[in-house]
Structure 1
Amino acid sequence: MAESHTPQLDTSTDVPAPPIAAAFLVNFDHRKGYTLTWYKSIEGVQIEGTVEFKSLPSGLHNVEEDLVYFIHKDYAGLSAFLNVPDEHAERKARMLAIGVLVPLEHGRMGRIWRHAETLKSLARSQIQDVADTSQLEHYWDTTRLDSAELISEAPNESTDSFGKIGGYRKSRSMSTATNYLHSAHHLTPHHPASNLLASVQLFGPLVFPLFRAALLRKRILILAEAPVEFSCDLVYNISILSSLSRSLLSLLPDSSIDLTRLRPLFTIGVSDIDLMKAANPNPKDISETQQGWIACTTDDVLSTKPDLYDLLVLMPSTENNYARRKVFPRLIESTPLLTRNFPQFGQKSTQRDFHRYVHLQQGLEQFPSGRASSDGGGESDESSSLDAHSSAYIENKHVVEPPSWSRVAYTSLVWWASAGDRRGGFSEMEEIEMERDLSLLQNDSDEEQIREVALVAYFHRLTNLIFTVLAEAIARADGRNSDIDESEHEESGEDTTVGENSAERTSSLGGDEDDDTQPLLSESGNLQHVEITQDDMTNMGLDSWSASDKIFVENMISLWWGRKADVRAASVECCGLRIL
């Protein structure tokens, strides 16, 4: 198995739980609230006055149990919360949380979820006798982090973890942060990706606008009710899905390298407002945006401060589980006028997103689930695919943009020109789109690949496709040769990178073969606008008829390359004249 070039899902089962830098017990006191009643930590790790707030977000008293992820300085935190009814206790219940901290592995969670089952077991035992901490002491003694291990840890990505090689920046830490995948493995208990498929089904085609917001490195705040484990998993998964592969670094200017990963903050609250401001101050221009982040919260007061975030994700209430019609999350762009009275409808997906989502659901059926063994789905003919489109549209039409009048006119024109031959089936363009979408799910490995890994691979290939096409457009604008064959856009490597030929393509994008260390972004201030054609939009899997996708491409060019883009919308021409 080749080394993966993008942060991946850790599906191995033979790797032990990471050593911990701190362990703590938070107990509920009816006079003082949640109090830190016991803790152990290595030297230099200060947790008093912090973890009791981070590990117990608002609303937990309404649930029986939960797993809470959070970030504390250079450490990832996980706490197991337990709420047990007790008629003899104050408020008729006993509540506590047992948690740990592990060092961040280059900004990521360090496989901390491997402690989840143990923490839940300790919580169930500890709540029977809060005063007896012998099991906690034993747990600390057997899993604590040695000082020597901490010193050997690589620097966090919050510092400059990228060095320059051959004139381009290259990650020093990417190879050590990347996990090797063994596709036959199943996900370990409480792995965040265990909820990946459920998240995609919940968002439906809206998963693609959310994904694009992550590529734009926006500050994404997820507002949800307790329990928060699902929301924390969503934070992790979106960060993974939108990460950039190492092969793309050579296509980006140095100023964009810090954007290669969307920073996951996990659970945050009112006490983290300063952190939210420091992580990404509100820029005057999108090209000045620093590294974005994604976080979840149960404190709705944060949603009333639109200056703190760029995109608000309102998760459906648990009461909507019994609704007659599916209730989707709402994606709401931050505006100065945003208050508690949120708009009834949020962002919608494009028509292309909808078709891509249907194709994705169909293509995933060929892979077994990582949660339990299952047979892959059988082949479906065109009629069953059409039925799937029809039923899916009925369920998802409330979050899909209606077709533009020009697209309707164009579709009608094509139907008229073909004498209605394709009225009962897919159009030629739809068939091409389906083939392209399903090709992103191909498995080049001889091993069986689980569904969750295939889904991550799909989004990484889509990311690489978008960045490669944009880099080619910039090369055209700058008058540099770009003789990349269309076939090179197809996946040719293993795991989740779009082709292992990305490095070989650098010379054609960079111009002079004798000077392949020159950055793609010229230092001259006289830069041409980047023209994005309709074919470019199609090759990126975007909707050339959609205004929102046009804005997305303009913002991508501005954010990652500091350039201005002229996006040519779809049109219909006759004898050289535009008629639609």
Structure 2
Amino acid sequence: MVEQSDRAPLLDWEEIPSTRVPEQRRDLSPTGRRALGSTAPGTGWSSSPGATAVSVAVNEQVFEAAPEPACWTGIQKKEEDSSPELRDWGSSSSSSSPKIPQWEEKDQILAVFVVAFDTRSGNMVEWCLPQDVDLEGVEFKSMASGSHRISSDFIYFRKGSYFGLACFANMPVESELERGARMKSVGILSPSYTLLYRYMHFLENQVRHQLEAPGHYSQLEAFYEDKKAVLPTGNGTVNSHQPVYCLQMINKCMHPEMKITHPAGCMSQFIKFFGEQIIILWKFALLRKRILIFSPPPVGVVCYRVYCCCCLANVSIPGIGVSVPEFRPFFYINVADIEALETEVSYVACTTEKIFEEKKDLYDIYVDNQNVKTHHDNLQPLLRINTADRDKYRKLSEQRQVLLYSQEVDGDCNGSEEDLFILFFMEQNNRIFQMLLEVSSSQDKTLTEEHMRAMGLDPQGDRTFLMDLLEVYGIDVMLVIDNPCCP
């Protein structure tokens, strides 16, 4: 959670500029966005149709790219004083190093709202801008079930094709009508979640302000007028020709940012929390399974686990993943989302409602604390960690230790754990699919044990995983590895 300050709400908020943001800016479409070179969907952009893929040459390789790469870095929030004037909202500083071409997304706030808990009516939207915006269900998404037991939280969620961030606070009051507690959330909607972190500090202070001085919305009104987006028209797409850039360091633009305010970074926490189970989640993510993560409140850190799961499936080989289901982050969900989930074939989400565990038709993988389980018999073998899995996790741990040592001893700040984590799994994925494509283009199309070892897979322990992978991605090869368990 963000450390709260005692300063006034308006003065206490600032947008946190990226440490590697360029001076140049370009108009960005809110639709059809994906990370450059990545075929893993659900990485921060809306899934609306209309995005035209392009290619970009990098280091003599050609990568497919969606029109809008969103590059980012950094995990620690700057504690700098910002100007209180409203005209300074949205100001950002550019990097002093022009070596790496980068892009900055424009502010696109679709709605601002305040949700309150009423002892008679339950959760309700107390105020919003614009007044005609469809916020059905937001009152439950922005105030997680069970939040009455905690003092504060932040929640990422999905509303249709848009993303939201809300900050919740619970303040004791001497009021019989409110039953001794006043609970509210202040949130925003945007076409993308990659910039929502910028406003977390502001939303935290605004929800505190709403608790202490209910009914005063002038600061929220000014914020919305400054940040409101121009909504797309017609079929929901924006007709614009996006430029193609040649990147000097493509690894800096392979993934979007979901800023975390914990100084250790969300990837580091993700690795420490799941340990070797990360490899199991990696396989299910690559197979585009429906993954549901349960945790009691607070739900903010669990939303980061959703993001980390999505990052496991990135692939930068052209053509891979085009025909497979989109791996969509839903972030926090509740019983109001059941109808929407019934039609989803691939997603990652988190919930605080234990009742979801009983609704097995809505998910393939259920994660409770560090316990990863499935009710599908054919997926049971994927829950067992094999020798190749342990080897992958050992290599990841070793690379992390080398990075941490270089940062501590040499003061090397060029890399981050986020970069290392995402690129590690992207390289694993690329190695697998590159080998499968080579075998599928050969004459006999025979996949041997040597091929599996070259892909970093266990010839026996990963047999089921590989067979499912071939089926999901429609790759035509012949798996001839003998199974010692069969006669």
Give the TM-score normalised by the residue count of structure 2: 0.70
Q: 1:95 aligns with which of 183, 186, 198?
A: 183
Matched, 1:296 2:350: yes
Inter-partner Cα distance in structure 2 for 1:75 and 1:63: 27
Change (3 A) 1:367 1:34: same
Who is 2:200 aligned against?
A: 116
Q: 1:560 aligns with which of 473, 480, 484?
A: 473
Inter-partner Cα distance in structure 2 for 1:223 and 1:360: 26
Deviations 1:188-239 (A, max 9, x none): 5549992111111111111011011000001111111111111111111211
Inter-partner Cα distance in structure 2 for 1:40 and 1:472: 54
* Equivalent residues of 1:66, 1:227 under 8 A apart: yes
Matched, 1:259 2:342: no
Change (3 A) 1:230 1:74: same
* Equivalent residues of 1:75, 1:102 under 8 A apart: yes
Who is 1:334 aligned against?
A: 375
Inter-partner Cα distance in structure 2 for 1:259 and 1:191: 34
Q: 1:356 aligns with which of 373, 392, 401?
A: 392
AA aligned to 1:550 is R
* Equivalent residues of 1:366, 1:376 under 8 A apart: no
Secondary structure of the corresponding residue to residue 61 of structure 1: helix
* Equivalent residues of 2:73, 2:416 under 8 A apart: no
Give the superposition deviation at 1:258: 4.1
Inter-partner Cα distance in structure 2 for 1:17 and 1:86: 39
Q: 1:236 aligns with which of 284, 307, 314?
A: 307
Secondary structure of the corresponding residue to residue 31 of structure 1: coil
Matched, 1:10 2:98: no
Matched, 1:70 2:154: no
Who is 2:88 aligned against?
A: none
* Equivalent residues of 1:268, 1:297 under 8 A apart: yes
Where do residues 405-424 of structure 1 align in structure 2 (5 Å cutoff)? none
Matched, 1:471 2:437: yes
Which protein has the bigger helix share?
A: 1
Deviations 1:338-377 (A, max 9, x none): xxxxx9x9923222212321221121122259xxx94159
Who is 1:401 aligned against?
A: none
CA RMSD of aligned residues (A): 3.8
Change (3 A) 1:88 1:76: same
AA aligned to 2:269 is A
Give the superposition deviation at 1:92: 2.1
Deviations 1:121-162 (A, max 9, x none): 111111101122222222222221134xx4599849xxxx9x
* Equivalent residues of 1:17, 1:112 under 8 A apart: no
Inter-partner Cα distance in structure 1 for 2:482 and 2:399: 29
Change (3 A) 1:273 1:82: same
Change (3 A) 1:275 1:128: same
Change (3 A) 1:569 1:175: farther
AA aligned to 1:74 is S
Deviations 1:473-514 (A, max 9, x none): 2223x44xxxxxxxxxxxxxxxxxxxxxxxxxxxxxxxxxxx
Matched, 1:22 2:111: yes
* Equivalent residues of 1:102, 1:110 under 8 A apart: no
AA aligned to 1:101 is L
Give the superposition deviation at 1:535: 1.0
Who is 1:223 aligned against?
A: 294
Secondary structure of the corresponding residue to residue 389 of structure 2: helix
Q: 2:218 aligns with which of 134, 138, 147?
A: 134
Secondary structure of the corresponding residue to residue 365 of structure 1: helix
Secondary structure of the corresponding residue to residue 331 of structure 1: strand
Inter-partner Cα distance in structure 1 for 2:291 and 2:130: 32
Secondary structure of the corresponding residue to residue 199 of structure 1: helix
Secondary structure of the corresponding residue to residue 453 of structure 1: helix
Give the superposition deviation at 1:532: 2.4
Who is 2:171 aligned against?
A: 84
AA aligned to 2:144 is P
Who is 1:452 aligned against?
A: 418
Secondary structure of the corresponding residue to residue 248 of structure 1: coil
Q: Which runs of 5+ in 1 are unaligned?
A: 162-171, 281-291, 316-328, 337-342, 379-445, 480-529, 572-579
AA aligned to 1:448 is N
Give the TM-score normalised by the residue count of structure 1: 0.60
AA aligned to 2:299 is V
Change (3 A) 1:229 1:141: same
Change (3 A) 1:192 1:313: farther
Q: 2:364 aligns with which of 310, 318, 323?
A: 310
AA aligned to 2:364 is D
Where do residues 155-166 of structure 1 align in structure 2 (5 Å cutoff)? 155=237
Question: Paired residues, what number?
Answer: 387
Where do residues 435-514 of structure 1 align in structure 2 (5 Å cutoff)? 448-476=414-442, 478-479=443-444
Q: 2:343 aligns with which of 278, 293, 315?
A: 278
Who is 2:85 aligned against?
A: none
Inter-partner Cα distance in structure 2 for 1:121 and 1:71: 23
AA aligned to 1:25 is V
Who is 2:57 aligned against?
A: none
AA aligned to 2:450 is D
Secondary structure of the corresponding residue to residue 219 of structure 2: helix
Q: 1:539 aligns with which of 454, 475, 483?
A: 454
Inter-partner Cα distance in structure 2 for 1:259 and 1:42: 38
* Equivalent residues of 2:165, 2:188 under 8 A apart: yes
Q: 1:59 aligns with which of 140, 146, 151?
A: 146
Give the superposition deviation at 1:173: 11
Give the superposition deviation at 1:16: 7.2
* Equivalent residues of 2:156, 2:303 under 8 A apart: yes
AA aligned to 2:332 is T
Deviations 1:408-429 (A, max 9, x none): xxxxxxxxxxxxxxxxxxxxxx
* Equivalent residues of 2:194, 2:258 under 8 A apart: no
Secondary structure of the corresponding residue to residue 367 of structure 1: helix
* Equivalent residues of 1:4, 1:180 under 8 A apart: no
Change (3 A) 1:117 1:173: farther
Inter-partner Cα distance in structure 2 for 1:200 and 1:459: 13
* Equivalent residues of 1:554, 1:565 under 8 A apart: no
Secondary structure of the corresponding residue to residue 279 of structure 1: coil
Inter-partner Cα distance in structure 2 for 1:4 and 1:368: 27
Change (3 A) 1:201 1:550: same
Deviations 1:151-177 (A, max 9, x none): 599849xxxx9xxxxxxxxxx99989x
Change (3 A) 1:191 1:143: farther
Who is 2:408 aligned against?
A: 375
Deviations 1:306-363 (A, max 9, x none): 1111111112xxxxxxxxxxxxx11111249xxxxxx9x9923222212321221121
Secondary structure of the corresponding residue to residue 132 of structure 1: coil
Change (3 A) 1:26 1:356: same
